[in-house]
Structure 1
Amino acid sequence: MHVRTPIANDGRLDTAAKHPGLSDPRYLLRRRAFASLARGHRVGDPSPRVDYTKAEQQTWRTVHQQLWDTQREHACRAVLDAREQAPVPADHIPQHAEVGLHLRRLTGFDFTLAGGVVGNKRFLGSMADGYFHAVQFVRHPAVPMFTPEPDIVHDVFGHGIHLASPAFADIYRLIGDAAMRVESKDVLQMISDVYWFTLEYGVLDEAGTPKAYGAALLSSSGEICRLRRARIRPLDIRAVLATEYDISGYQPVLFSARSLDEVTDTLGGFLSALDDGSAPRFGRAAES
């Protein structure tokens, strides 16, 4: 999870600050216990096994039932093909080891443990070595279709599906390679912003209909159903980098490509030319 975290908003809450999980002492204690498991975790080390509660398992099953059907209608063909192989069980929350076992065979990727926010350099750069930072905690059961921060549902239903596909995995590695090559915080933030509008909130045009491929859309039944209400613009890196975004709700602007190959080519051209002096060329302040 990088510095800017997405929200899967079902429209029933005005702001993330009103989420019931933020005022539930028992849930917050559980959330902190998950975070403590990740303290000192080294990228690539095995994630600890979690004994999920009956309530957490029920939340997973509730979300799975709705998201699976919603994705079928609103996700792009590349996602639907990928999820046929993805480790997304209907009856239980998968352990990181379970997810990784499948992904390693398919694309060489694995989940590595995060407790919450991870800095851009580590989060993005780890993708170069085939590791995606994923959490283990589960969203609050009171609003199962909404989470104020990425949870295991987001990571499995979004990134777990992506990383079952060699084509998507190649995009993650492109981003990871670029992040490993630079040190400038401004340039790393540029990579993060492009990641946000593609792998988190990207859209493909399929026969004139917007279809989701971004992980944040795939894990939000509310937002994926309202794609046509967003202002959808052609994927253009300069436009992406000039677009502000609000992490506390639905995204008003999305960027669409005609195919996943176009996404790969567009990102590849941009990322391959990046160095620590790139920020001013894109209207970003140079790092002091």
Structure 2
Amino acid sequence: MFTEGQLYSPVTEHEDGTVEVHLADTHPGRDDAHYLRRRGEIAGAALGWDRGHEPVPTIDYTDAEHDIWRRVSAELAPLHERHAHREYLEAKARLDLPADHVPQLAEVSERLVPITDWSYVCAPGLVPLRDFYADLGARTFNSTQYLRHGSEPLYTPEPDIIHEVIGHANQLASPRLAAITEAAGRASLRLRTDEAMKLVADVFWFSIEFGVMHDGSDLKAYGAGILSSYGEIQEFGQMEIRELDLADMGTLNYDITAYQPVLFAARSIDHLEDVVGDFFATVDDEAAAALRHEAVRRGPLPMSAATG
């Protein structure tokens, strides 16, 4: 079950104005004082931003941070060509993000707005679940601005700007995937119960974040979490692949710290729109409760029963 706050390191703003990011003990930057200070600076820029009255803060990225972006962009490019669904690849070509430097969020918005009318705003880390989804409903994506630790440029235990932009912005340059994402955001405005909100977030996790889709006889990825991960993009085809099933997607327990062992495959982009898109467009508290009851009635699905 999705729990907000698991994905992002907590941030504390101290009375003297300094900002501290609390990395997990297993984080590769946990004992790097320079990295911790840099993370605090970048989080502080987001915390001090006067939204609605100021431009999104510009981050003066270092040469080392640009190098991380260049390295990851270069490593992901051939993997995308092999493993990404053509819906994502066409959107990626349309957006044409820079591969030689970390783009400012304003630059991402400038490229994205003419395509699908989506824009990016900054966040220090965690955004409350309902606020995050409400912004999605307004075609606004909350993004972190920091980069992963330089000792492990192909790995991050938390969503950094590489995940938020290479994963999601490319995805949002597809009008069809952008519409599904917007529908998820609009759904949150109809939902009164936390249980219904969590179910929508879990369906979102298994589609927009970790979705796979058939392209002819091939299984391809379109989920931002897969397509921004150097490791996961090479492993997803070995996982247990199930048909789209909203009750299963909305209630399946999962561990965000490991590769996802169960993925849900759409037969096509049309199928994804018909099942997931229509669900986000119509779900209310009663429909969410019915899906939960259906999952309970069925009982746990054996991990090998739905392998495709």
Give the structure-2-normalised TM-score: 0.84
Report the residue type matching 1:32 in the other structure: G
Q: In the alignment, does 2:235 pair up with 1:226?
A: yes
Q: In the alignment, does 2:61 pair up with 1:61?
A: no
For 1:18, the equivalent position in structure 2 comes to 26
Cα distance change on mapping 1:272 and 1:105 into 2, 3 Å? closer
* Count of matched residue positions in the alignment of Structure 1 and Structure 2: 275
Cα distance change on mapping 1:78 and 1:33 into 2, 3 Å? same
For 2:177, the equivalent position in structure 1 comes to 168
For 1:36, the equivalent position in structure 2 comes to 44
Where 2:95 maps in the other structure, the secondary structure is: coil
Report the residue type matching 2:28 in the other structure: P
State the alpha-carbon separation in 1 of the partners of residues 118 and 31 from structure 2: 36
8 Å CA contact 1:197, 1:240 repeated in 2: yes
The within-5 A match list for 1:83-122 is 83-122=92-131
8 Å CA contact 2:46, 2:124 repeated in 1: yes
Report the residue type matching 2:59 in the other structure: V
For 1:237, the equivalent position in structure 2 comes to 246
Cα distance change on mapping 1:106 and 1:87 into 2, 3 Å? same
Where 2:29 maps in the other structure, the secondary structure is: helix
**In the TM superposition, what is the alpha-carbon distance from 1:41 to its structure 2 partner?**
4.4
For 2:163, the equivalent position in structure 1 comes to 154
State the alpha-carbon separation in 2 of the partners of residues 34 and 165 from structure 1: 29
Report the residue type matching 2:271 in the other structure: E
Percent identity among equivalent residues?
40
Where 1:147 maps in the other structure, the secondary structure is: coil
8 Å CA contact 2:199, 2:251 repeated in 1: no
**In the TM superposition, what is the alpha-carbon distance from 1:73 to its structure 2 partner?**
0.7
State the alpha-carbon separation in 2 of the partners of residues 87 and 21 from structure 1: 30
Deviations 1:127-185 (A, max 9, x none): 11110111110111100111111111111111110111111111111111101222321
For 2:209, the equivalent position in structure 1 comes to 200
Report the residue type matching 2:114 in the other structure: R
Cα distance change on mapping 1:50 and 1:4 into 2, 3 Å? same
For 1:190, the equivalent position in structure 2 comes to 199
**In the TM superposition, what is the alpha-carbon distance from 1:213 to its structure 2 partner?**
0.3
Where 1:21 maps in the other structure, the secondary structure is: coil
8 Å CA contact 1:43, 1:131 repeated in 2: no
Give the structure-1-normalised TM-score: 0.90
Q: In the alignment, does 2:4 pair up with 1:3?
A: yes
For 1:140, the equivalent position in structure 2 comes to 149
State the alpha-carbon separation in 1 of the partners of residues 270 and 202 from structure 2: 20
8 Å CA contact 2:91, 2:173 repeated in 1: yes
State the alpha-carbon separation in 1 of the partners of residues 213 and 206 from structure 2: 12
Larger Rg: 2
State the alpha-carbon separation in 2 of the partners of residues 54 and 42 from structure 1: 28
State the alpha-carbon separation in 1 of the partners of residues 7 and 267 from structure 2: 24
8 Å CA contact 2:247, 2:292 repeated in 1: no
State the alpha-carbon separation in 2 of the partners of residues 191 and 124 from structure 1: 10
Deviations 1:18-51 (A, max 9, x none): 3321221211111121111222646665311110
Q: Identify the structure with bigger relative contact order (alpha carbons < 8 Å, sequence gap 6+).
A: 1
Q: In the alignment, does 2:270 pair up with 1:269?
A: no
**In the TM superposition, what is the alpha-carbon distance from 1:195 to its structure 2 partner?**
0.8
| Unmatched tracts of structure 1, length 5 or more | 8-15
Report the residue type matching 1:62 in the other structure: R
**In the TM superposition, what is the alpha-carbon distance from 1:69 to its structure 2 partner?**
1.1
**In the TM superposition, what is the alpha-carbon distance from 1:5 to its structure 2 partner?**
5.9
| Unmatched tracts of structure 2, length 5 or more | 9-23, 294-308
